[in-house]
């Protein structure tokens, strides 16, 4: 199993541009999450999904959108990039049920200038 994969690894965007951060997992996990990590801070939850077709907002959802058309994929969309969205983005998955252990991807480092 590849686990949780994320693409791209790095990206530089200009203010106002759009992009989609890709996340995929091959563990058949129902729950998936998007976090952002700012320097010196812990991870903040952006959006999460408990299954295909079901998504909900986390702690910091403004400026982002998500979709979940399959169990495997959970892309994160930035529509109008702003400098405040400069961060490292992590995707994670969780098999759900009684197991609460989240498994993380390697991250996407995004800079908006």
Partner 1 sequence: GQQLNQSPQSMFIQEGEDVSMNCTSSSIFNTWLWYKQDPGEGPVLLIALYKAGELTSNGRLTAQFGITRKDSFLNISASIPSDVGIYFCAGQLGGGTSYGKLTFGQGTILTVHP
Binding site for partner 1 (CB under 8 A): 4, 31, 33, 40-45, 48, 50, 56, 58-59, 90, 92, 94, 96, 100-107
CB of 30 closer than 8 Å to CB of 96: yes
Q: How far is the CB of 47 from partner 1 (least distance, A)?
A: 11
Closest contact distance (angstroms) between CB of 84 and partner 1 is: 19
Q: Do 33 and 48 contact (CB within 8 A), yes or no?
A: yes
Whichever of 58 and 63 has its CB closer to partner 1, that residue is 58
Distance from C-alpha of 20 to C-alpha of 29, rounded to nearest angstrom:
21
Rounded CA separation 108/113 (Å): 16
When the beta carbons of 75 and 106 are compared against partner 1, the nearer one is: 106
Apex 109 CA angle, 22 and 40, nearest 5 = 130
Question: Minimum distance between the CB of residue 9 and partner 1, rounded to whole angstroms?
Answer: 9
């Amino acid at each position: 199993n590849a686990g949780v994969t994320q693409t791209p690894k790095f990206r530089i965007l200009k203010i106002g541009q759009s992009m989609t951060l890709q996340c995929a997992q091959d563990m058949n996990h129902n729950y998936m999450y998007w976090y952002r990590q700012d320097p010196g801070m812990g991870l903040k939850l952006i959006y999460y999904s408990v299954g295909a077709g079901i998504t909900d907002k986390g702690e910091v959802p403004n400026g982002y959108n998500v979709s979940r058309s399959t169990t495997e994929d959970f892309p994160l969309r930035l529509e109008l990039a702003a400098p405040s969205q400069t961060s490292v983005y992590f995707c994670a998955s969780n098999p759900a049920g009684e197991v609460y252990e989240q498994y993380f991807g390697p991250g996407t480092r995004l800079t908006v200038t």
